[in-house]
Amino acid sequence: MIAGIVGTLCFLALGFAVWGMIADIGYDTTPWAQVRRRCSHYTDAYRQGLACITFDFFVSLYQVNPNRWELEDPTWGYIRYKGEDTYWYDRVYWKTREDIKQYKKWYKEELVRQSEQKSAEKIKKISEIGIKDIEALKNKINQNAQSEFERIAKERERNKSFYYQVMTSNGYTLTEEGLWVKNETL
């Protein structure tokens, strides 16, 4: 009788030890646990029947028209889509938890890409403004140079007639080579 009780206790202890090891591993062998494992990769929104899409489907739609999508922080579990005839964004949820993981990774990369694109656009805009400023400065310099050339030419003509009068009154003659020669030496 004592041997039977001891045997039963040993069997129960061994059963609890095996059950403890299985519980530590986190593996439940009941049929409902198997169903839960198979279905656990779906999100609650999908189980509730809300509008859900996969990440691959989202990427294909986003590449066609990114302006229709309002990207949300991945922790919210949804993104927003703007339809044809509305000004409001509709929520679209993720179908599986794997879709959320893929979106988190893609979202970080997309933020970096958008940041780089915005900075490139700013640099392009600054460069265009700089080029316009340089062109305006070149035009201003050309106008100043042209007006200075015109001023010098007018002054030269004025001075030319003045010097001609002075030189001819002092007895000099202008040769064909452009030299002034004293009339006595001719």
Domain residue limits, the chain: 1-40, 127-174
Least confident of 82-86, 101-105, 124-128, 167-171: 82-86
Average pLDDT estimate for 169-186: 77
Give yes or no for residue 164 having a pLDDT over 80.
no
Instruction: State which of 15-29, 112-126, 171-185 shows the largest mean pLDDT.
Output: 112-126
Average pLDDT estimate for 146-172: 80
Predicted pLDDT at 30: 66
pTM: 0.51
Q: What is the pLDDT of residues 67-113, one digit of tens each?
A: 888 888 887 888 888 877 777 788 889 898 888 889 999 999 999 99
Least confident of 55-64, 77-86, 126-135: 77-86
Predicted pLDDT at 14: 67
Predicted pLDDT at 24: 46
Predicted pLDDT at 42: 80
Predicted pLDDT at 125: 95
Give yes or no for residue 162 having a pLDDT over 80.
no
In angstroms, the CA 94 to CA 100 distance is: 6
Give percent of the chain with pLDDT exceeding 90: 28
In angstroms, the CA 76 to CA 107 distance is: 13
Instruction: Please provide the DSSP assignment of the chain as one string.
Output: -HHHHHHHHHHHHHHHHHHHHHHHHT---SHHHHHHHHHTTB-HHHHTT--EE-HHHHHHHHHH-GGGEE---GGGSEEEEE-TT-SSEEEEEESBHHHHHHHHHHHHHHHHHHHHHHHHHHHHHHHHHHHHHHHHHHHHHHHHHHHHHHHHHHHHHHHHHHHHHHHHHTTEEE-TTS-EEEGGG-
Average pLDDT estimate for 140-144: 93
